[in-house]
Structure 1
Amino acid sequence: MVKKLIFISLFCSFAVSAQDIHFTQWMNSPLNLNPGETGRFDGDFRIAANYRSQWGSIMNKQFNTMGLSYDRVFSVYGQELSAGFQFVNDRSSIGNLMQNKLMFSGGCNKLIKGNYISGGIQLGMLHKGLDPNKYSYPEQWDENIGEFTNQTGIGNAESFTSTNEYLFDFNLGLSWARQITDKLFPEIGIAFFHINRPEESFFGNPENLEIRHAYNVRLNYKLSSKYIISPNLLYSFQNNAQDMIMGFIAKMKMQENKSKINNVFAGLNFRDGFDRNYDAANVIIGATREEWQVGLSYDINISNLSSITHYRGAFELSVIYIAQSSEPKIYNVPCDRY
């Protein structure tokens, strides 16, 4: 019963804060990170797939997130442009609480006096849905069994005007990078989501979805011809919800081998926020092989819930495929980066 109450409290905090979909491997989910990442790769086109499973350690009630994106680069009158799309599904196994988003991206990439600058926009639709019959409510307290239940025919006294919401959405982002020395290549991204502040409500009293701000920094430092280390930081906030992931990823270039693996990488990050305790530690490992990159990560829960979760948090898988360039590019991001 205690676990149930804790999970319900946790679930309600997610629902009320309405925090956007996020991944621990944010650097491997480019179009979800920043519209300015559209076309920001060395190749003809890119396909990225992400999967995240969270909170399965509490009563086997999971939050599952799946994302798929595609973007490509093309030239128009000597100007390098990019376009793509992204679909993300986020679903909770309790109450069928669900979010879907389908976004179409467009971008422009320029090299100005050694500065790699990318700007992008996203237009699309958000869908949010739930099944109110899967929940129990304060009016459904059953004195006979001593708990809230929706199985005894007691009404919930709630007036849902809709169980599905469809919202038009508009996002904007900008990315900057520069090869400062032969060893240091910093990258900075700024993005704003829900700029049009669409209205949403399941109860007929619509409220505007708040703008989410996202800022990310990566400092790619070449230790040698074989090793690169990349300290990184992602900070985002939306209304009263905030998320900060900070840490590092190290990459090692492999010698020629039968498996044709080019690089392997590993890293450690922490999820935190200002004025609050640590939420999770994240371990990331992965490898690149020719056009493919695969990343695995696990969130180790170190919050106050760790006594319930037994330190188990979320599992993530990312797969990226980048087709090799068929012709020279105007804008070419250096390869010595994570």
Structure 2
Amino acid sequence: MRLFQLLCFSLLLSVSAQAQDIHFSQFYMSPLNLNPAMTGVMNCNSRIAVNYRSQWASILGSSAFQTYSVSYDQRVAVGRNDYFGIGGTFWGDRAGQADFATTTGKLSLSYSKKVGGSRKYGNYLVAGVEGGAAQRSLNFLALRWGTQHDGAGGFDPTAGSGEDGFDRDQFLFADLAAGLLWFMVFDENNSLYAGGSFHHLNRADQSFDSNSEEDLLYSRFTVHAGGEFMLGQRIGLVPGFILMNQGPSFQVNAGTNVKFLLDGGRAGSSQSFQLGLWTRVSNRLDDSVLTDALILSSRFDYENFALGFSYDINTSDLSQATDGNGGFELSLQYKICGAQRRGVYCPTF
């Protein structure tokens, strides 16, 4: 079992070393990580979002993948109907026994232009950009190499390793992104949106050997869509879809939450509860496609607070080692509205 864990770790590290981006199962509660055009897109003046994800703890224990994100954004009115969005995001990710880590800080700007409708309903087109800096690091002393194993079950940590070609265990790089978003709001409880983003426009060098050929970070293309559709006075559907493609890898998340309005219902509810089922589909290194996980999600909204929890049930071949355990996520949002809130402006994320 220990050997299998090391093999799984090596596989997961190799995927991480190709610099694939972080992902959240509750992508709809991490809007600035999804698309810079979602900066400032809210029904209030400002928003704070916190996300945390832990994955593969059943295999890696204390070395499980840990991902966290904190963001803040606000909108600024321009004329009667348009808005600027200003925001900032800080996130970190740490994976495996060698502490392969990424830490990122970014600023984002957006502009929302109303292209039709009235005060209570309408549709908008939003453009956004993002820029910042990131750091990658790796603890080479914690790695194990094939030359350190004698083939008979023995291990000699002083034997030759494969790190001789690396001359830096951390480095900084700039990172740029851009995105577009379109949304239509029918009333306070019914909306539709679709967007796309292009991350890592500048394709920074990711090599831990400064003297080698460049190992460029793959650009990531994202397409996403969703909405909110009430089926009655107290129940509705909140479907969503996201497709991410980065180099040789792609991932699709799709599903829906069922939303239950509490207290006043559609007449003026300030509380709601959601339960949902989602699926994640991705590709293997051999180009085959698999259903990686089923995702159980929940969300509770109380006035300006939103709390989300999700759990991934692993359905890939790795489930034999994980017993189906994947990862859990916690998400928290708090919106500050104030006096500038004017009618229905955007979908609820």
Answer yes or no: same fold by TM over 0.5.
yes
Please state if 1:199 is matched with 2:205.
yes
Task: Give ranges in structure 2 of 5+ residues lacking alignment.
Answer: 117-121
Please state if 1:82 is matched with 2:85.
yes
Range with greater deviation from structure 2 (323-332 or 54-63): 323-332
Please state if 1:154 is matched with 2:159.
yes
Q: What residue is the counterpart of 2:119 in the other structure?
A: none
> CA separation in 1, counterparts of 2:155 and 2:270?
55
Q: What residue is the counterpart of 1:110 in the other structure?
A: 113
Assess if the C-alpha contact under 8 Å between 2:185 and 2:345 holds in 1: no
Q: Give the TM-score of the pair, scaled to structure 1.
A: 0.91
Q: Give the TM-score of the pair, scaled to structure 2.
A: 0.89
> CA separation in 1, counterparts of 2:60 and 2:107?
37
Please state if 1:278 is matched with 2:284.
no
Please state if 1:4 is matched with 2:5.
yes
Aligned-residue CA RMSD in angstroms? 2.2
> Which aligned pairs between 1:49-88 and structure 2 lie closer than 5 A?
49-60=50-61, 61-76=63-78, 79-88=82-91
> CA separation in 2, counterparts of 1:328 and 1:219?
21
> Which aligned pairs between 1:236-255 and structure 2 lie closer than 5 A?
236-255=244-263
> CA separation in 2, counterparts of 1:137 and 1:39?
47
What secondary structure is seen at the aligned counterpart in 2 of 1:15?
helix
**1:46-72 CA distance string (max 9 Å, x none):** 000000000000041300001000001
Count of matched residue pairs: 331
Range with greater deviation from structure 2 (318-327 or 172-181): 172-181
> Which aligned pairs between 1:210-225 and structure 2 lie closer than 5 A?
210-225=218-233
> CA separation in 2, counterparts of 1:181 and 1:326?
20
| Distance apart, 1:17 and its partner CA | 3.2
> CA separation in 2, counterparts of 1:20 and 1:229?
29
- Over the matched positions of the two proteins, sequence identity in percent amounts to 29
Cα distance change on mapping 1:149 and 1:30 into 2, 3 Å: farther
Task: In structure 1, give the amino acid aligned to 2:161.
Answer: N
Range with greater deviation from structure 2 (162-171 or 179-188): 179-188
**1:183-225 CA distance string (max 9 Å, x none):** 8522101000001111221023222212100011103222112
> CA separation in 1, counterparts of 2:196 and 2:68?
24
Assess if the C-alpha contact under 8 Å between 1:110 and 1:331 holds in 2: no
Q: What residue is the counterpart of 1:313 in the other structure?
A: 326
| Distance apart, 1:117 and its partner CA | 1.6
What secondary structure is seen at the aligned counterpart in 2 of 1:89?
strand
Q: What residue is the counterpart of 2:193 in the other structure?
A: 187
Cα distance change on mapping 1:146 and 1:268 into 2, 3 Å: same
| Distance apart, 1:77 and its partner CA | 5.7
Task: Give ranges in structure 1 of 5+ residues lacking alignment.
Answer: none
